[in-house]
Amino acid sequence: MNASIREAWALLPDYLGQHVLLSVAAILLGAAISLPLAIFAARRPRWRGPFLGFASVLQTIPALALLALFYPILLALSALTHDVFGFGVPSLGFLPALLALTLYSMLPMLRNTVTALIEIDSAVLMAAKGVGMTSRQSLRLIELPLAAPVIVAGIRTSAVWVVGTATLSTPIGQTSLGNYIFTGLQTENWILVLFGCVSAALLALVLDQLLALAASGLARRAPKRIAAAAIGLIVVVAASLLPLRSAQMQTYVIGAKNFAEQYILADVIADRLMSAGMPSSQKSDLGSTFAFRALATNGIDIYVDYSGTLWANQMHRTDMPGRDAMLAQLHDWLKAEHGVEMVGPLGFENAYVFAMRSDRAQELHIESLADLAVHSRELKIGGDFEIFSRPEWKSVQQAYGLAFATQRQYQPDFLYRAVQQGDVDVISAFSSDGRIAEYDLKILADPKSALPPYDAVLLLAPNHADALRTALAPLVHSISLENMQRANLMVDRPDGKKTPAEAAAWLATTIDAPSPPH
């Protein structure tokens, strides 16, 4: 079996379990809110329009945006509860994903329930009143049973939506089957992407069929069918959740942002912890600032960030005191402001750089960002999703007076393709990326030092810093830029791809080799 598929299989119990837990919780919560609302609205025509309108509007918000929106909302809420009650609420991971998916699940249930209730034959309702039912008894004994098949059909639509949309909760820190898709997309591992799609689709299909069985059972008043569907649902959900339960013992959570180097380093850290007898799990594909926020709030325990990124995004500094002073100030600031421990630099730098195809650079006589400024008005630049909104970009623009004809954003992988095929002339890149050499790109010099150094640094969450420090200290100053580039290329190159775990295993052998004396 292919290494990618083997790796994907190994992750399935965790991903599927988390995915099912999230989806089922969202559907149940959605139903718990929608059904009473629908019953209320069915009896009061004036409220019907606003309720359904609100749910419809929610549905038109792109799912990814809705998920992302809950991060700042919960962040603000957390600050509020912290002031009032003395504790915060998590703004990343399960909670925001649950809330967004709950809202997303409501429309079909709301609409179907309202429709089913208002379309019940008025003669039957009159009879219910006539035999002496109170309005509550009429609802319980007559209206809800008659509406049940249509209500279940609504739950069925919601379930399919939620299971599909839950894959988008990966970037806000909730593990799901979407991890396959996001990781696969980042590393151009299409087998992984396909694995994620197929597993999510199968899950949706199974839930859909079981709920269809329940709906037909209710419509035909066939108790055996209903029982079979209920048992099926319970078995599927329980079987998916079982692995989570066994994983409930104390484990450390390693975070990773959304590119190959981060996946590899997460695996290196996991191996280290394993050999120290400390089990761990991983949360990958976190957005850059999500990762730091998650660490500071103990949502994850360990991850690797870059000094320049923290300097600009967390400390909001634009001055350049020099590499060592910057690391020292960063160390103290992280401890004082967030209780986060910076164990130390790993030994290599992954700097934001700007790169061009070598032949193109030669043709235009561009060596540095200063040379680039001369031509920039006729050139096209491509960047990843972050660079153009980061403070470093402003500082580079100001330092050199850069202004481009067009500016585009790509997934990191497509970025290299774009510059190679000439869709753009300049791209933002990372200095530790093996593909810079592979694609024969020229890194443009930064004579004015507009970009800060980006030493890879190992960070620990406030709660578990003491336990983890000893096990991970050997990683400090242990990875050279050259080795990191080679490991990255193993995962990133288009042909003969290796998985991050395989690249990590290779990188680990270079760490364990006795380092040359300084």
Partner 1 sequence: MIEFSEVSKTYAASNGPSVTNLSLTIGDGVFQILAGPSGCGKTTTLNMLNRLIERDAGTIRIDGRDIRDEDPVALRRRIGYAFQEAGLFPHMTVSENIAITPRLLGWNTLEQRARVDELLTLIRLPDIARRFPRELSGGQRQRVALARALAARPKILLLDEPFGALDPLTRDELADDYRRIHDELHLTTVMVTHDMTEALLLGDRIAVMRDGTIAQIGTPQELMANPADDFVARMIATPQRRAKRLAAAMGENAP
Instruction: Report the residue number, 136 or 365, with the smaller CB distance to partner 1.
Output: 136
Please list the residues that pair with 401 across neighbouring strands: none
The two tokens of residue 238 are: 């329980």
Tell me how far, at minimum, the Cβ of 131 lies from partner 1, in Å.
Answer: 5
Residue closer to partner 1 (CB basis): 132 or 496: 132
* Cα(378)–Cα(380) distance, integer angstroms: 7
Q: Least distance (Å) from partner 1 to the CB of residue 129?
A: 6
> Which is closer to partner 1, CB of 132 or CB of 514?
132
Identity (one letter) of the amino acid at 401?
G
Nearest to partner 1 of 142, 295 (CB atom): 142
Binding mask 221-250 for partner 1 (x = CB under 8 A): x-----------------------------
The token pair that represents 388 in the structure block: 């153009």
Q: Which of 448, 518, 457 lies closest to 295 in space, CA to CA?
A: 457
To the nearest whole angstrom, how small is the minimum distance from the Cβ of residue 149 to partner 1? 10
The CA distance from 25 to 99, in Å, is 10
Spatial distance between the Cα atoms of 185 and 178, rounded to a whole number of angstroms: 10
280-286 sheet: strands from edge to edge: 280-286, 252-257, 302-306, 455-460, 341-349
- Closer CB to partner 1, 147 or 361, in the complex: 147
Q: From CA 491, how far away is CA 494, in angstroms rounded?
A: 8
* Residues that contact partner 1, how many (by CB under 8 A): 17
Least separation in angstroms between CB 46 and partner 1: 19
Residue from 342, 308, 283, 333 nearest 90 by CA: 283
CB 379 within 8 A of CB 426: yes
* Closest to partner 1 by CB, 86 or 132: 132
Please state, in angstroms and rounded to a whole number, the distance separating the CA atoms of residues 255 and 253.
6
Nearest-angstrom CA–CA distance, 314 and 259:
20
Q: CA 495, CA 488: separation in Å to the nearest integer?
A: 13
φ, ψ (nearest 5 deg) of residue 473: -55, -35
Query: Minimum distance between the CB of residue 124 and partner 1, rounded to whole angstroms?
Result: 6
Nearer to partner 1, 132 or 517 (CB): 132
Shortest gap between Cβ of 31 and partner 1 (angstroms)? 21
Residue (121 or 319) nearer to partner 1, CB: 121
Nearer to partner 1 among residue 227 and residue 235 (C-beta): 227
Residue ranges in 284-323 that form contacts with partner 1 under rule CB under 8 A: none
22: CB partners within 8 A, 6+ apart: 94, 97, 98, 101, 166, 169, 174, 176
Q: What's the min distance (Å) between Cβ of 148 and partner 1?
A: 9
- φ/ψ region of 406 (left if φ > 0, alpha if ψ in -120 to 50, else beta) reads beta
End-to-end CA distance of the chain: 44
Asked whether position 274 contacts partner 1 by CB under 8 A, the answer is no
**517 is a contact residue toward partner 1 (CB under 8 A):** no
- What is the smallest separation between the CB atom of 216 and partner 1, expressed in angstroms? 14
Q: Which of residues 126-145 bind partner 1 (CB under 8 A)?
A: 126-134, 137, 141-142, 145
Cβ proximity to partner 1, 138 vs 488, nearer residue = 138
510 binds partner 1 (CB under 8 A): no
Residues 106-125 that bind partner 1 (CB under 8 A): 123-124
**Residue 142 Cβ vs partner 1, minimum distance, rounded to whole Å:** 6
State which residue, 80 or 124, has the beta carbon closest to partner 1.
Answer: 124
Asked whether position 329 contacts partner 1 by CB under 8 A, the answer is: no
- 286 bridge partner residues: 257
β-pair type (352-357, 426-430)? antiparallel
User: Which residues lie across from 345 on neighbouring strands?
Assistant: 457
Please give the Cα distance from 369 to 444 (Å, whole number). 6
Q: Quick check: 6 binds partner 1 (CB under 8 A)?
A: no
Residue 145 Cβ, how far from partner 1 at the closest point, in Å?
A: 5
Contact residues: partner 1, CB under 8 A: 123-124, 126-134, 137, 141-142, 145-146, 221
